[in-house]
Amino acid sequence: MHRIDCPWCGLRDEAEFQYQGDASVAPPPLEGDIDEAMAAVYLRENPRGWHQEWWHHVAGCRQYVRVLRHTGSHEVAATGWPDSRLEPPA
């Protein structure tokens, strides 16, 4: 089980959260082309390494948390507020 450090509630089990997607990609415009929107949502690269993600604390404060997680080892290196920018470890 992973532990995610919620900025509002503190360290919690992963079971309290729901993965919400890639935090490094801007969503497509609402009035854009449907094919462009489908590609932005479903046709993405899935590189191995550090990845910024959105996690929703559904069983706690119900806030969104930015999480820096390694896609290979699933290690959580950092968490932060929604507007924070997390840097991978050196």
Backbone angles phi, psi at 87, to 5 degrees: -105, 135
Provide the residue type at 28 as one letter: P
Q: Is the pLDDT at 43 greater than 90, yes or no?
A: no
Mean pLDDT over the full length of the chain: 91
Q: How far apart are CA 82 and CA 51, in angstroms?
A: 15
Percent of the chain whose predicted confidence (pLDDT) is above 90: 66
What residues does each domain of the chain span?
A: 3-80
What pLDDT score does 28 carry? 80
Q: For the residues 71-75, what does the mean pLDDT come to?
A: 93
Q: Contact, 45 vs 26, CB < 8 A? A: no
- Which pTM does this prediction carry? 0.85
Mean pLDDT of 39-53: 87
Distance CA 77, CA 90 (A): 11
- What CATH superfamily is the domain 3-80? Folate-binding superfamily (3.30.2270.10)
